[in-house]
Amino acid sequence: MRVVIDRVSKTYVDRRGQAVDALGEVSPAVESEEFVALLGPSGCGKSTLLNVVAGLTRPSGGAVELEGDFTPGRSPTAMVFQEPALFPWRTVQANVEFGLEELGVARAERARRAREHLALAGLTGCETKYPHQLSGGMRQRVGIARALAVDPAVLLMDEPFSALDAQTRRLMQAELLAIWERTRKTIVYVTHNIQEAVWLADRVVVLSRRPGRVLANVPIGLARPRTETQLVEPAFVDAVERLWALIRVQALDAMREASQ
């Protein structure tokens, strides 16, 4: 499924009644089966753009279109948030089935698809557990399984691993790469972490500070499937340095403006 973002802008009204421009006419297309990371300084509109693509936020201008064939009963998008937001009174399996219930999928089919995607996320054997019985990484896997179970055309991920410790985060990144290899979903992934963006993505879209505009589209020249040995390859290091140079300028400009 191809995502066409056509001159999307977003203006909020803050508590004082002042207009705040979050996004300024951005148009980053995402190709079918492409893994794209959105990177930029805090407050640049990354999450806002993701919410617009998901249909959770209405843009002030422009539009988003999904190009491709829609299968009946299939969700066009699904979101994985920074916090998995699981229902504590539901078992792992029941949490994964929730989106399927909303789509009206029959009980037996819900159960089958939930088990299938729990296995995909490495959670076989955890079906009857409750969220409080799981580690943070395992809860996030449940959130990913829940999103994938509705078979979305586009998977949207808003800093899904930022709350995890460094070791768990690395393991979850590897799990996500393995899941992408098996499913080839179109993925749009928001992150503040430059190394994460380079290791995961086919392309990194860099947004400016508010109002967010596209500064650069940086293709990542790393072969797939990705491996940890690539973290020291020149292509990885060069991409990280290029992205940091772009982000650093934005951060310094913001600091200078704040000090005036």
Task: Report domain extents, the chain.
Answer: 1-68+158-167+192-260, 73-152
Reference 83, options 33, 173, 144, 6; nearest CA is 144
Strand partners, 30: 3
E strands along 29-127, which residues?
Answer: 35-39, 61-67, 77-80
Strand partners, 20: 12
Alpha carbon distance 206, 243 (integer Å) = 8
Kindly report the length of the chain: 260
Pairing of strands 203-207, 214-219: antiparallel
What order of strands is seen across the sheet that includes strand 19-26?
A: 19-26, 2-13, 61-67
CATH topology (fold) of 1-68+158-167+192-260:
Rossmann fold (3.40.50)
Reference 28, options 47, 49, 55; nearest CA is 49
Q: What end-to-end distance do the CA atoms of the chain give, in Å?
A: 46
Q: What is the pLDDT along the chain (260 residues), one digit of tens a residue?
A: 899 999 999 999 888 888 889 999 999 989 999 999 999 988 889 999 999 999 999 999 999 999 887 666 667 899 999 888 899 999 999 999 999 998 889 999 999 999 999 998 889 999 999 999 999 899 999 999 999 999 898 999 999 998 888 888 898 899 899 999 999 999 999 999 999 999 999 999 999 988 999 999 999 999 999 999 999 999 999 999 999 999 988 877 767 776 76
pTM of the model: 0.91
Alpha carbon distance 243, 237 (integer Å) = 10
- What confidence score (pLDDT) does residue 52 get? 95
- What confidence score (pLDDT) does residue 233 get? 93
Task: Assess contact for 194 and 159: CB atoms under 8 A.
Answer: no
E strands along the chain, which residues?
Answer: 2-13, 19-26, 35-39, 61-67, 77-80, 154-158, 186-190, 203-207, 214-219
Reading the block at residue 70, the tokens are: 């829609």
